[in-house]
A and B are shown apart, each in its own frame.
Chain A
């Protein structure tokens, strides 16, 4: 794990953008840390608008899927919005196999994810 932590967070006018700093999102300890950081982000906003970019991610485990679902439920509870984007084909296949592409909103890229966000920031 890098010294900068497993995710990089940037605040943009339309949303809060999250990127992974590692290409393998599979280590349970790291995934727990990612979950904690995302939870903090969601809790800090009255109506979170979160875009999670998978640029550079080559591997994803079922534990990471679970964390995304937990975050989705927290975002939804606050009437917020969550988008996933920039997902490589082999990772997208994981979402399709588990049918989570029907539950989590996936957009092609960051621009599409931002454009899909409705309502005021």
Chain B
């Protein structure tokens, strides 16, 4: 009989760092690795959906706004998952920015503007979203019990 693996609460934390260029294949591989880690620790589909969305938005912001589309620059992603918490750090090579300067996309005067919803979505789905000064490193956490806060 196959010996069962460790239960999620006894499993060693998943910890990994990726240094990415803007290539779809490597982003998909990262998403798959993080998704597998969440699954291994027993996180549900709602969490997997939320983390995929937040990670996608963070990477797009890093490549497009942080690195300004410079293909020679990379985005570094650090991830740690254990039974109760998922932590991500997404760091670009840009100068950083102040997220408070991003206008509220749900305000009447902004609602039809096509851009500016990525940070809002991350904040809606994650437990916390924090820009580490000078603002080129995004720290995202998802605490298991809380789930999407929409």
Contacts and interface: CB of A to CB of B under 8 A. Distances in A.
- Interface of chain A, main secondary structure: helix
A1 to B, nearest CB: 9
Contacts of B73: none
Interface string B40-84: 000000100100110011001000100000000000000000000
A58 B49 CA distance: 8
Given A59-B52, A59-B53, A103 B148 contact: no
B113 A69 contact: yes
B10 interface: no
Nearest to A1: B24
Contact of B111 (A28, A63, A90, A100): A100
A103 B49 contact: no
A62 interface: yes
Given A28-B64, A93-B150, A96-B150, A67 B114 contact: yes
B121 A69 contact: no
Contacts of A28: 60, 64
B53 A61 contact: yes
Interface residues of A, number: 26
Interface residues of B, number: 24
Most buried by A among B57, B114, B115: B114
Contacts of B53: 59, 61, 94
B85 interface: no
Interface of A: 26-29, 58-59, 61-63, 65-67, 69-70, 72-73, 90, 93-94, 96-100, 102-103
Given A62-B60, A97-B121, 14 more contacts: A26-B56, A27-B24, A59-B52, A62-B116, A62-B117, A65-B117, A67-B114, A69-B113, A70-B114, A90-B46, A94-B53, A94-B121, A97-B150, A98-B121
